[in-house]
Amino acid sequence: MIKTFVDRYEAGRLLAAKLEHLAGRRDLTVLALPRGGVPVAFEIATRLGAPMDVFTVRKLGVPGQEELAMGAIAPGNTLVLNESLVSYLRIPQSIIEGVAAIERKELERRNRLYRGVRPPPEITNRTIVLIDDGLATGSTMRAAIFAVRRQDPKTIIVAVPVAPPSTLAELQREADDVISLLQPDPFDGVGRWYSDFSQTSDDEVRNLIESANADKPGTGRAIGHS
């Protein structure tokens, strides 16, 4: 049987071992997709000695089947659609625009909540590691890659604890490197591969960002996590 992770923190520690070759790089930034990607990214940023921030992306759920992603949005008015699903379900443009408008408000709210007055992370000419706690369709990660790519990074690396082989193959065409600890088939959802997959709170997100950056000048004091 394929191993499951105890929780997101353990997954982050294991994933960090696969990224050790990046440790100490001065051009490295770890960006987490909140909320579940933040505990994973915290462990990675801590072990690599890299600054960490969030990159807020919102899934566009199919109305009535919200867990089914028809696309995603990211900062910079980035919208990525699952074209095959939209076509198969015959989802009209008006529905897509309506869902996107709602999710864009939530994206802006979360950016204010997590970042406050802190400026957006520097991306241009940097090595960016995009982290989530796992991928299913990959829509949110594809939106993140697209939005980050528009800011001219040196390299984009996607690193996740678990994802299906088909999603990883698609992302290989869009990122410079893709790393996943588990590639189960059948996949059965991200939560299937965690013993503890409880929701990450907004307070936990803020505390982990502050704690990860506590040793960086001007980023604040450390706050521990449970």
Per-residue pLDDT of 153-192, as tens digits, reads: 999 999 999 999 999 999 999 999 999 999 999 999 999 9
Cα separation values, 82 from 13, 89, 105, 159, 175, Å:
31, 11, 21, 21, 17
Fold for 8-58+121-212, please state it: Rossmann fold (3.40.50)
CA distance 128 to 176: 10
Q: Which of 10, 93, 101 is nearest to 47 (CA)?
A: 10
Is the pLDDT score of 15 beyond 80? Answer: yes
Question: Model's pTM, two decimal places?
Answer: 0.86
- Mean pLDDT confidence for 52-74: 90
User: How confident is the model at residue 215, as a pLDDT?
Assistant: 67
- Mean pLDDT confidence for 101-111: 92
Report residue 216's pLDDT band, with 50, 70 and 90 as the boundaries: low
Q: 44-56: per-residue pLDDT in tens?
A: 999 999 999 999 9
Q: Is 20 exposed, middle or buried (0-12, 13-18, 19+ CB in 10 A)?
A: exposed
CA distance 61 to 77: 17
